[in-house]
Structure formats: C-alpha cells, structure tokens
Chain A
Amino acid sequence: KAGVTQTPRYLIKTRGQQVTLSCSPISGHRSVSWYQQTPGQGLQFLFEYFSETQRNKGNFPGRFSGRQFSNSRSEMNVSTLELGDSALYLCASSLNVASGHGYTFGSGTRLTVV
C-alpha cells in the first residue's frame, strides 16, 4: 500500500514569498500531523488534523497555517517567508488520534528560503 506522499520534495523560495506544501496520507488514515525540523531546534510539532478539524497547534506564529480536506489530504502554508523558515517539513499520518496508533512519516519537503 502507498505510503505518505509529500510534495514537492525540494523547494527554494525568496524571503517574503509564501509557500504551500502538500501531504497525502495512507489510504484510510484520518489523522495528519505536521512537523518542522531544523539543525538548531530539532523536530517541533506544527499542527494536527483529524477529519478536517485542527485538533492541536504548536507554538508557531500565525504565518504558519494548514488545513485538511475531506479525502484526508492536508496542506500547510507559510506566508511571508523568513530565512529561519528554512527547514525540513515532515508530515505523518495515523489511523486516528488515539494514543494507541503509531505514525507513518512522509519523506519530507526541504524548504530553503533565500
């Protein structure tokens, strides 16, 4: 069965631009979560969605937003990009948000802001 698909894999943007990243979960998985990974801060939680509803949000500014569609696919958007937004953005899907289910991660989108 297909894994978690993230597109694009690599992206270069200029400061001030905005970017949209996409995540397609494993078929049947209804929970999608997003993470940012940087050398300085490590992995940090961004958001979690379940059945099109944002369940939880990490400590990131309002420039970071996301949504989930009825087919469970999710997008995240970063507006007014800053150099510090350069990172690997990972999404993970899970059957549901209950603690009894693990995560399957995508390969990530590597965003470089210049």
Chain B
Amino acid sequence: KNEVEQSPQNLTAQEGEFITINCSYSVGISALHWLQQHPGGGIVSLFMLSSGKKKHGRLIATINIQEKHSSLHITASHPRDSAVYICAVRSYNTDKLIFGTGTRLQVFP
C-alpha cells in the first residue's frame, strides 16, 4: 500500500463545477504539499499545510492531522484548471518528500 494515496485518479468536470481531490497518508508528517503539473511537465506549488485550511483565489486546501487526510477544492472550475494535481507529504521521521500518484483533472467548457 502506498504511503500517500490520492482519489480519484481521474476526474472530469464541466466548467463551473465544484471539485474535490482527496489525499490520505499513513506516515507522520511535518508538512503536506499540493502541487499542480501541466502538460509539458512544469510543476507549481499550490499550498503547503501543516494544519487547518488555506485559500488562494478559487483554490482551498484543508488538512486533518488526526485523520491523516487532506482535500483540495476548486470552486467555479475552469478549463485552465485542467492539470495533474499531486499531493506530497514530508515524512516526520525521514524528512523526505513522499508523493501521491496524482489526480488528472479535465475541465470541459
């Protein structure tokens, strides 16, 4: 079993829909990151969380440390949000980043 699991693996949506991507992890962590990767490979760091909730524009990320779970929400989705979203955790014990396998999101107009 992977130490970082994301769901769903693939997601399609119509423009304007509310989207949720989930991340569950099994190790103790010092931080959790949400990353966005567009076709061509470039990765953008969206959020880094160690507790609570963060918001940036239409993106909201939450984390529940007790339940070892994080969610990334996109409100009013847009075709330009189409990308792979990757959850990564920094292990408290090894201090290494462990990545989920990503969620491929396609938003259609």
Contact = CB atoms under 8 A, between A and B. Distances in A.
Interface in A71-93: 88, 90, 92
A108 B41 contact: yes
**Chain B binding surface, main DSSP class:** strand
Contact of B31 (A90, A92, A99): A99
Contacts of B94: 56
Contact of A108 (B42, B50, B90): B42
Contacts of A55: 95
Contact of B86 (A43, A56, A97): A43
Contacts of B12: none
A64 interface: no
A90 B33 contact: no
A interface secondary structure, majority? strand
- Size category of the binding interface on chain B: 20 to 34
Given A56-B96, A99-B50, A105 B31 contact: no
Interface in B6-46: 30-31, 33, 35, 40-45
B71 to A, nearest CB: 18
Interface string A22-42: 000000000001010100001
B97 A33 contact: yes
A88 B45 CA distance: 17
Interface of A: 33, 35, 37, 42-45, 48, 55-56, 58, 88, 90, 92, 97, 99-105, 107-108, 110
Interface of B: 30-31, 33, 35, 40-45, 47-48, 50, 86, 88, 90, 94-102
